[in-house]
Structure 1
Amino acid sequence: MSSPVKIPYNSFIKIDRQSSTPVYLQITNQFSNAIQRNFLPKGTKLPGTRMMAVLLSVNRNTIVSAFEELAEQGWIEVKPNKGTFVIEKTLQKPQKIQTDPKKYQYQYPVQTGFSFIQSNLMDNPFEKTRCTYIFNDGTPDFRLSQIEQLSSFYSACLRRKHIGKKWHDSNHTENDSFKRNLVNYLNLSRGLHIDISNLLTTRSSEMSIYLVSQILLNINDTVAVADLSYFTSNMAFQKAGARIITIPTDKQGIDVDYLEKICKKQSLRMLYITPHYHYPTTVTLSAQRRVKLLHLAAKYGFIILEDDYDYDFHYDKSPVLPLTSVDGNGMVVYIGTFGKALPSGFRTGFVVAPQNLIAELQQHLTLIDHRRDTVMEQVLSELIKEGEIHRFQKKHLQIYQSRRDFFCRQLETFFGNSLTFEKPSGGLAVWMEWNTPVNLLRLKKIAEKSDLFIPKTLLYQNKSTTAMRVGFGHLNEKEIEHSLSIIWKSISKL
């Protein structure tokens, strides 16, 4: 057997100091590769960790970690008082399953042998594309996320002993520390007066809407929405068996006088509303209409489902507070998303409501989502407690405000009087109404040929409206200018 020191380890173990892969893993991977290629035959004695560290010019602890990993994978073994040796690892190759139908009588069925209700309401409205430039309805730019800082929070939480104990707790539902910190955050930022008994956390705002719909709506209940409304919430209401009616909107939000006429004629179970920045038009419900809306809810007994999807993105110094902050009759169910400026894995949905409804929602949520993401809840809790979430939002808000202003200037430059828009006081999207005839579906197809994708869900066209809701938050200034130039060129080809 060759002396372990005489083997030219440097010839097949190359360390890349610029690689993002840890050095010990680089050594581990190249060692296992050398063993499989028989550069290091079975029974080869390896140098000690000190000698190997000298040969490869790395720290001894790095070699120790690499050898431990190789031993766990079954490539080497340590024999007391003898040394470290290469062992033979038997690789289990999976047998290829023959799928020739002529050789087998059994085939997996194409359809079920039983009937079930199939809903066309749940068809996925989202499209896929390979275009470089993509419009959406207003999402953050996750390139701005401070991934290293978020990763450090997550790694620190993973190493804490009390987190490990919660993983083994089969009855664990929610992190009380997270709920307390989130309650404090909502009370301070939104003028609420709640405690943890008024809060439920979910995976997303869409999950919140679905849960609320399943509990509060029955078949043939009437739900009022704005004449232009959020399509996924409408899908949830219809899936619960509700009947949807529409309420006109204008520059002050939904027409509450029209809503009152509806209430006088028929029973209304729920009103779904986005009063802060109405989806999709971005207008804010006026103060007078807010007061009257709460009065109507108390008088006629309908639920107000308030979706505050973009509250964290306001550019005025004094944002309008949610309806639920002044609801004294328990008629408002408030939903939203915490951490929307963060990557999707670091966000959470929430529901704020009176205690009896939250208790019922919790029972349903526990049934379908019993195991929570303990580590992520702890990370979010600490982001609030340490004030990091405020720093994130303050920094990002300045960037988004600058992008909003640039986007609006570019709209004026490219389109002039061809379209009408109002600079939104918050949110990440602009509502654009065309003043000249434009076939939006044809515009979509022409733009796509120029590498710009416009989803159908952003297009609003009927006898009285030709409009688009276009998000600017996920685009930098260069991308904004290029995308709008494609729209301008595409219109000339209509």
Structure 2
Amino acid sequence: MSSPLKIVWFSNIPLDSAAGKAIYLQLADGIMNLIRRGKLQAEQKIPSTRELAEILNINRVTVTKAIVELQQQGWLESFVGRGTYISKHIPIQILPANHSLPRKKAAGTSPVELRANKLSANNYQVITTKLYLDDGYPDPTFAPLKDFYRAYRSQLTRSGLYTRFGAYSHPHGSVYYRKIIADYLNHTRGLNTTSENILSTRGTLMAIHLVCSTLIEPGDFIVSGIPGWNRAEQNFLHAKANHIGVPVDEHGIVVDEIRKLCHRRKIRMVYVTPHHHYPTTVPLRIDRRLELIQLANEYGFLIFEDDYDFDFHYSHRPLLPLASTDENGVVLYAGSFSKNFSPAFRIGYLAASESIIQQLSNYRILVDRQGDHILDNAMAELIQQGVLQRSIRKAVKVYKEKRDLFAELLSDKLGDTIQFTLPEGGMTIYTSFDPSIDLERLSAAALKKGLYISNGKIHQYQNYNTNSIRLGFASSTKSALTRSVNILHDLLLQK
């Protein structure tokens, strides 16, 4: 019979039939912990399966399964006629005998020394409130999910299993997707592309990262508007580039400032959101568009055109992108389906010269291999069948109505404390609050009332702060917009 002390150790192994984990695995883990604590030493004999079953008041078969599990993992060794022992390969004592088993350390407390980098904390917001005036997200009710389901399912049931599922394919995207995207961009945006000019991406952010990792060298100068998009700026810093911010006014990025910079240093790339500048939503005026293209040709820099919400322009037809007037391959044109389908589906593209696409593909294969060809092909089918285009037309009509209602609500309820210009397009109204209003406190107070709004920090810079935030209207119902503005009105009255 085993020693009384050993019996106590085994009898204290916790077993819970309601724990959702097999009893034999709980027993195996318990014995493993005894070994790790140093209670059981290498080459020490443990009680027989019959003894353990009696000690723990469980079935002997369960004990046998636990012993077999530990033997397979190398913790125990069994010998015919002699019994079962702690493996002789176990260190003499893994932990001191009086040491309790440590809890797993939380992520972020690794003992490995982390090297300092230039990236600030990339915070993000997961919205869980019922009311939200977000950063400009679409209304998911317009996403043709049933059509998408059918298109995706058809990809899974067609012939050619090996080429579809049994082997890797092109890192720059499926041939079908790139062909459809090229035709789509040529038809809707006035580009002149073929499938060889298209790279499939998982959204615009991936395109920015690929470009920064492939075409940007440490010390290169990248220019963008201030205020701008923090995610893009963080990619510039990650590439060890020198980021230079230039002003943005009511006509978009001030191109004259870019010309002045070109006289002083070699610019490698200019990042712009010309259709609706992020975050202010203002379009880049035609003369500045043409001048920026001229500067790129004259001084030999790249233009990264982030056209994140091309389809949503309400005063007239969408403005054609810079890429439509690019004759020398200086524009990298990026877009995604996050705004006109859903942010949940990471589907996008980058249009550029064949040589640049090849370089980006060579790098992309190291981080993502090829993307999701099945997902891309399903989206391509929706485009070819006109499903996506029809859903966009419906959304534009409703979004314009929401924009007009939201602007009216803001003027009526918050008119004395805010200023804004009615945007020609997009899904947000860039709203400036009176300097006396603490946006961080307002955001926190709204959250307690079940309303999400930004605290404005993401649009603040060292020498720039207009106390402004983006108030998204597209993703909310009209009644939700009314309730949201009423909450802000009541909170500002209490200020």
Residues 113 and 437 of structure 1: CA distance in aligned 2, closer, same or farther (over 3 Å):
closer
What does residue range 93-492 of structure 1 map to in structure 2 within 5 Å?
A: 95-96=25-26, 97-98=29-30, 102-103=37-38, 105=94, 115-119=113-117, 121=119, 123-128=121-126, 130-162=128-160, 165-171=163-169, 173=171, 174-338=173-337, 340-435=339-434, 437-456=436-455, 460=459, 465-492=466-493
Q: How many Å apart are 1:434 and its aligned residue?
A: 2.4
CA contact (8 A) 1:340 1:347 kept: no
Output the TM-score relative to the length of structure 2.
Answer: 0.76
Q: Distance in 1 between matches of 2:458 and 2:437?
A: 11
Q: How many Å apart are 1:109 and its aligned residue?
A: 8.5
Residues 386 and 129 of structure 1: CA distance in aligned 2, closer, same or farther (over 3 Å):
closer
Q: How many Å apart are 1:153 and its aligned residue?
A: 2.0
Q: Distance in 2 between matches of 1:130 and 1:164?
A: 42
Secondary structure at the counterpart of residue 267 of structure 2: coil
Q: How many Å apart are 1:378 and its aligned residue?
A: 2.0
Letter in 1 for 2:467: T
Q: Which moved more, 1:328-337 or 1:163-172?
A: 163-172
Residues 255 and 131 of structure 1: CA distance in aligned 2, closer, same or farther (over 3 Å):
same
Q: Distance in 2 between matches of 1:94 and 1:189?
A: 63
Q: How many Å apart are 1:365 and its aligned residue?
A: 0.9
Letter in 2 for 1:472: F
Letter in 2 for 1:139: Y
What does residue range 29-108 of structure 1 map to in structure 2 within 5 Å?
A: 95-96=25-26, 97-98=29-30, 102-103=37-38, 105=94
Q: How many Å apart are 1:337 and its aligned residue?
A: 0.7
CA deviations on 1:218-260 (whole Å, 9 max, x unpaired) are: 1121111111000000000000001111111111111111221
Secondary structure at the counterpart of residue 313 of structure 2: coil
CA contact (8 A) 2:202 2:348 kept: yes
Residues 108 and 165 of structure 1: CA distance in aligned 2, closer, same or farther (over 3 Å):
farther
Q: How many Å apart are 1:310 and its aligned residue?
A: 0.8
CA deviations on 1:192-242 (whole Å, 9 max, x unpaired) are: 001111110111111110010111211121111111000000000000001
Secondary structure at the counterpart of residue 25 of structure 2: coil
CA deviations on 1:161-217 (whole Å, 9 max, x unpaired) are: 235641012345432111111110011111000111111011111111001011121
Q: Distance in 1 between matches of 2:377 and 2:259?
A: 45
Q: How many Å apart are 1:146 and its aligned residue?
A: 3.3
CA contact (8 A) 2:323 2:331 kept: yes
Q: Distance in 1 between matches of 2:479 and 2:161?
A: 44
CA deviations on 1:264-285 (whole Å, 9 max, x unpaired) are: 1222221111111000000001
For structure 2, which runs of at least 5 residues remain unmatched after alignment?
Answer: 1-20, 39-92, 96-101
Secondary structure at the counterpart of residue 412 of structure 1: helix
Letter in 2 for 1:309: Y
Q: Distance in 2 between matches of 1:112 and 1:176?
A: 43
Secondary structure at the counterpart of residue 431 of structure 1: strand
CA contact (8 A) 1:338 1:350 kept: no
Residues 330 and 149 of structure 1: CA distance in aligned 2, closer, same or farther (over 3 Å):
closer
CA contact (8 A) 2:118 2:237 kept: no
Q: Distance in 2 between matches of 1:299 and 1:378?
A: 39
Q: How many Å apart are 1:92 and its aligned residue?
A: 6.8
Q: Which moved more, 1:232-241 or 1:404-413?
A: 404-413
CA RMSD of aligned residues (A): 2.5
Q: How many Å apart are 1:428 and its aligned residue?
A: 0.7
For structure 1, which runs of at least 5 residues remain unmatched after alignment?
Answer: 1-90
CA contact (8 A) 2:268 2:302 kept: yes
Q: Distance in 2 between matches of 1:287 and 1:115?
A: 51
Secondary structure at the counterpart of residue 269 of structure 1: strand
Q: Which moved more, 1:480-489 or 1:333-342?
A: 333-342
Q: Distance in 1 between matches of 2:170 and 2:242?
A: 37
CA contact (8 A) 1:346 1:380 kept: no
CA contact (8 A) 2:204 2:335 kept: yes
Residues 314 and 492 of structure 1: CA distance in aligned 2, closer, same or farther (over 3 Å):
same
CA contact (8 A) 1:172 1:372 kept: no
Secondary structure at the counterpart of residue 138 of structure 1: coil
CA contact (8 A) 2:148 2:379 kept: no
Secondary structure at the counterpart of residue 272 of structure 1: strand
Q: 2:52 aligns to what?
A: none
Secondary structure at the counterpart of residue 334 of structure 1: strand
Residues 476 and 301 of structure 1: CA distance in aligned 2, closer, same or farther (over 3 Å):
same
Q: Distance in 2 between matches of 1:339 and 1:195?
A: 23
Letter in 2 for 1:286: R
Residues 420 and 455 of structure 1: CA distance in aligned 2, closer, same or farther (over 3 Å):
closer
Secondary structure at the counterpart of residue 186 of structure 1: helix
Q: How many Å apart are 1:436 and its aligned residue?
A: 5.5
Secondary structure at the counterpart of residue 379 of structure 1: helix
Q: Which moved more, 1:178-187 or 1:153-162?
A: 153-162
Q: Distance in 1 between matches of 2:132 and 2:466?
A: 23
Secondary structure at the counterpart of residue 160 of structure 2: helix
Q: How many Å apart are 1:393 and its aligned residue?
A: 1.0
CA contact (8 A) 2:200 2:371 kept: no
Number of residues of Structure 1 aligned to a counterpart in Structure 2 = 404
CA contact (8 A) 1:163 1:375 kept: no
CA contact (8 A) 1:459 1:469 kept: no
Residues 490 and 177 of structure 1: CA distance in aligned 2, closer, same or farther (over 3 Å):
same
